[in-house]
Structure 1
Amino acid sequence: MHFFRTILSFLKNEEYRDLLFTTVTVIVIGTVAYHYIEGWRFIDALYFSVVTLTTIGFGDLSPKTDTGKLFTIFYIVIGIGVILQFINTLQNHYAQSRPYRKRKNN
């Protein structure tokens, strides 16, 4: 339950909303670009965008065209910073909003 309250408080903050919007925008740009450049289905393009920007890199999909490879270089350089900032900000917000619980020593 605390997780959902944290998400709601995150969305109420304008700066956090802007970061979320930027993150979603970067993922959508990658998804649309890979769909048209590589001819992938949207779900495959979305999957590749998320896997690439989170640096997981399963390797099951990869760009085959020169244009796709060049776009991926640009996409990684721009996108990883945005995604990592979003994940870091979300984690910090969650950690700061957690209620303090005192541990009892028995």
Structure 2
Amino acid sequence: MFFFHTIFSFLKNREYRDLLYTTMIILIIGTVSYHYIEGWGIIDSLYFSVVTLTTIGFGDFSPQTDLGKIFTIIYIILGIGIILQFINTVQNHYSETRNKRHKKH
């Protein structure tokens, strides 16, 4: 229940929602681009976008075309900061909500 409360309170905040929308747009751009540039399926393209921008980099997919490699360089430079900011914001929000809840009890 606490998890859902945290998510709903996160979504109520306009700045958090804007960051979520920006993150989704970045992932959609990567997914669509890899789908057309590399010819990957939508799921594989989304998977690669997430794995790349979260800096996990499993190595099971990699761009094979020159255009795909150039796009990846630009995509990482532009997207990694946004994705990491989103992850950091979610973690901070969760921690703040948990601390407020513990103070009440």
Q: 5 Å matches for 1:1-106?
A: 1-98=1-98, 99-100=101-102
Deviation at 1:100, TM superposition (A): 1.5
Q: C-alpha separation between the residues in 1 aligned to 2:47 and 2:94?
A: 26
Distance 1:74 1:27 in 2: 13
Cα deviation 1:53-86 (Å, max 9, x = unaligned): 0100000000000000000000000111000000
Identity of aligned residues (%): 72
Q: 3-state DSSP class of the match of 1:100?
A: helix
**SS of the counterpart of 2:102?**
coil
Question: How far apart, CA to CA, are the structure 2 residues paired with 1:29 and 1:59?
Answer: 21
Higher helix share: 2
Instruction: For structure 1, list consecutive stretches of 5 or more residues without a partner in the other structure.
Output: none
Residue 102 of structure 2 aligns with an amino acid whose one-letter code is Y
Whichever residue aligns with residue 94 of structure 2, its letter is: Y
Aligned-partner Cα distance in 2 for 1:79–1:20: 13
- List gaps (5 residues or longer) in structure 2: none
| Ranges of 4+ aligned residues in structure 1 off by more than 3 Å | none
Q: TM-score, normalised by structure 1?
A: 0.93
Between the aligned partners of 1:101 and 1:21, the Cα distance in structure 2 is 31
Q: 2-side partners of 1:43 and 1:58: how far apart?
A: 15
How far apart are the structure 2 equivalents of 1:62 and 1:32? 15
